[in-house]
């Protein structure tokens, strides 16, 4: 009989590959669109989830985002069974605690941050989280453009630190980027890959580079679309139609920019221009700056490249 108290290197390897002590209790800090989406898919896959926010209003908003999305999923998933469709959202919501108490991270196998894209705020948050957790907890960031090594700069547990980058809308987008820094341990990486798969995502691995895989390609592409429009080569509508019908993209660059948020894209670009001034693909188009200055942030503010209030363009 196998003696479970003794761990050989082979057994350790087998255990880490099979997701031994796999993650089943997750804390998501930040209940915006991304954090709520992550909480939803984690709970739907059977995890116990905490959503941590700074006030009741933000928690209520997170719960509303998740409820609405779960109802959309249920409508699709249980087309022919209205009673199952009706009970789906409440049954998943039961797995999620909405709280302002950061102390709940104590019992989590994974603490994932999805707060504002501010390096100092993220570093400060993880300092607090480290004090509240033990070294069995994995710490991860859903940052879209900040390097993980910078967020982990002051961490005493760099081997447990990684990036988990999800895509909007999280319940629909199948991809999860798993980012290891030079100090992330193989064990942490494997646990995150296993967890990502367990919540139904297709995981890809990327080094800790600006924008990882998707944003590194996507954001310069969006920029080229805006520059094309600024030069007067084609209208926003025609560029969008062209990329949807000519390249098979679900949204054109302007629809997607509005969907992601023009402030988010501007922030990513400004950080890259500052930190990598010699990279020719990192430029800030004037139109993007102007729209953000005017408060036109895309779908969420009612207008961006397109106008959503009047459903016009
Ligand atoms: N939750 C649950 N179900 C959803 C959903 C959501 N948030 N969004 C869509 N659905 C499901 C619903 O069943 C919906 O049917 P319903 O409207 O009757 O409820 C069905 O999908 C169809 O949805 P839509 O009619 O709204 O439209 P589409 O079929 O075009 O799908 C889309 C919407 C999935 C958003 C698609 O347009 C798409 O893939 N767009 C590209 C998104 C993309 O590129 N995302 C990545 C952005 S980059 C990023 O996030 C990284 C970050 O770091 C910046």
Q: What is the pLDDT of residues 73-85, one digit of tens each?
A: 999 999 999 999 9
pLDDT at position 261, please? Answer: 96
Longest alpha-carbon distance in the chain: 75
Shared domain check, 33 and 123: yes
Per-residue model confidence as pLDDT tens digits over 192-230: 999 999 999 999 999 999 999 999 999 999 999 999 999
- Position 14 confidence tier, pLDDT thresholds 50, 70, 90: low
Same domain, 97 and 21: yes
- Residue 87 and residue 223 share a domain: no
| Residue 292 is assigned to a structural domain of this protein | yes
> What CATH code is carried by the domain that includes residue 286?
1.10.1040.10
Is the CB of 169 inside a 6 Å radius of any atom of ligand 1?
yes
180 annotated active-site: no
pLDDT at 313: 42
CA distances (Å), origin 185, targets 158, 235, 308? 8, 48, 45
Q: With a 6 A CB cut-off, is 76 part of the ligand 1 pocket?
A: yes
Inside any domain, residue 287: yes
Confidence (pLDDT) at 186: 97
Residues 99 and 21 both lie in one domain: yes
Domain assignment of residue 99, yes or no? yes
Q: 289 in a domain, yes or no?
A: yes
**Of the candidates 289, 297, 301, 302, which has an alpha carbon nearest to the alpha carbon of residue 262?**
297
Work out the average pLDDT over 101-112: 97
8 A C-beta contact, residue 257 and residue 248: no
Sequence-distant (≥ 6) Cβ neighbours of residue 275 within 8 angstroms: 210
Query: From the CA of 143, how far away is ligand 1's center (Å)?
Result: 20
Catalytic: 177?
yes
Average pLDDT, the chain: 93
Q: Give the domain extent around 54.
A: 9-207
Whether residue 165 sits in one domain with residue 76: yes
pLDDT of 85 = 93
Contact 39, 49 (CB under 8 A): yes
Query: Among residues of the chain, what percentage have pLDDT more than 90?
Result: 90
Residue 1 falls within a domain, yes or no? no
Q: Is residue 309 part of a domain?
A: no
Active site residue 71: no
Question: From atom 2 of ligand 1, which residue's Cα is the shortest distance away?
Answer: 69
Shared domain check, 191 and 121: yes
Identify the pLDDT of residue 309: 78
Task: Find out whether the beta carbon of 140 lies less than 6 Å from any atom of ligand 1.
Answer: no
Q: Are residues 94 and 220 in the same domain?
A: no
**Catalytic residue (one of 16, 69, 215, 303):** 215
Choosing from 53, 117, 130, 177, the catalytic residue is 177
Known catalytic membership, residue 60:
no
For the record, the structure tokens of 114 come out as: 């999805």
Q: What mean pLDDT is predicted for residues 166-193?
A: 98
Give the model's confidence band at 21: pLDDT under 50 very low, under 70 low, under 90 confident, else very high: low
Please tell me the predicted confidence (pLDDT) of residue 254. Answer: 98
Residue 19 pLDDT exceeds 70: no
Same domain, yes or no: 192 and 147: yes
Nearest atom, ligand 1, residue 145 CA = 53
CATH number at residue 191: 3.40.50.720
Residues 244 and 98 in one domain: no
In a domain, 87, yes or no: yes
Whether residue 54 is found in the same domain as residue 200: yes
Of the candidates 118, 124, 139, the one whose C-alpha atom is nearest the C-alpha of residue 264 is 118
- Closest ligand 1 atom to the C-alpha of 172? 34
Q: Tell me the whole-structure pTM to 2 decimals.
A: 0.92
Same domain, 287 and 158: no
Task: Choose one of 165, 180, 207: the last residue of a domain.
Answer: 207
Q: Look at residues 207, 231, 246 and tell me which one is the last residue of a structural domain.
A: 207
Domain boundary among 142, 175, 207: 207
In this predicted model, what pLDDT tens digit does every residue of 109-160 receive, in sequence order?
999 999 999 999 999 999 999 999 999 999 999 999 899 999 999 999 999 9
Total of domains in the chain:
2
Helix (H, G, I), strand (E, B) or coil at 114: coil
Note the pLDDT of residue 271. 93
Q: Within a 10 A sphere around the Cβ of 99, how many other Cβ atoms?
A: 14
* Residue 123 placed within a domain: yes
Residue 2: pLDDT over 80: no
Same domain, 196 and 227: no
């Amino acid at each position: 009989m196998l003696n479970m108290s003794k761990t050989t290197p082979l057994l350790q390897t087998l255990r880490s590959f099979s997701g031994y002590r796999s993650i089943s209790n997750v804390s998501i800090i930040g209940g915006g669109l991304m954090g709520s989406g992550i909480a939803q898919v984690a709970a739907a896959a059977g995890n116990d989830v905490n959503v941590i926010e700074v006030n009741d209003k933000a928690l209520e908003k997170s719960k509303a985002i998740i409820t609405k999305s779960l109802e959309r999923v249920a409508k699709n998933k249980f087309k022919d069974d209205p009673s199952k469709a009706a009970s789906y959202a409440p049954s998943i919501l039961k797995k999620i605690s909405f709280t302002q108490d950061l102390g709940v991270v104590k019992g989590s196998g994974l603490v994932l941050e999805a707060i504002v894209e501010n390096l100092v705020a993220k570093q400060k948050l993880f300092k607090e989280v480290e004090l509240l957790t033990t070294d069995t907890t994995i710490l991860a960031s859903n940052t879209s453009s900040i390097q993980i090594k910078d967020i982990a700069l002051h961490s005493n547990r760099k081997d447990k630190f990684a990036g988990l980058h999800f895509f909007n809308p999280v319940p629909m987008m199948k991809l999860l980027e798993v980012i290891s820094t030079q100090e992330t341990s193989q064990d942490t990486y494997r646990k995150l890959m296993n967890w990502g798969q367990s919540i139904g995502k297709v995981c890809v691995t990327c080094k800790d580079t600006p924008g990882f895989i998707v944003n590194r390609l996507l954001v310069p592409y969006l920029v080229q679309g805006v520059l094309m429009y600024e030069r007067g080569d084609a209208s926003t509508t025609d560029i969008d139609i062209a990329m949807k019908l000519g390249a098979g993209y679900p949204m054109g660059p302007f629809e997607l920019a509005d969907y992601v948020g023009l402030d988010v894209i501007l922030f990513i670009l400004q950080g890259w221009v500052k930190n990598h001034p010699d990279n020719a693909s990192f430029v800030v188009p004037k139109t993007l700056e102007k729209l953000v200055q005017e408060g036109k942030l895309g779908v969420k503010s009612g207008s961006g490249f397109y106008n959503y209030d009047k459903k016009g363009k």
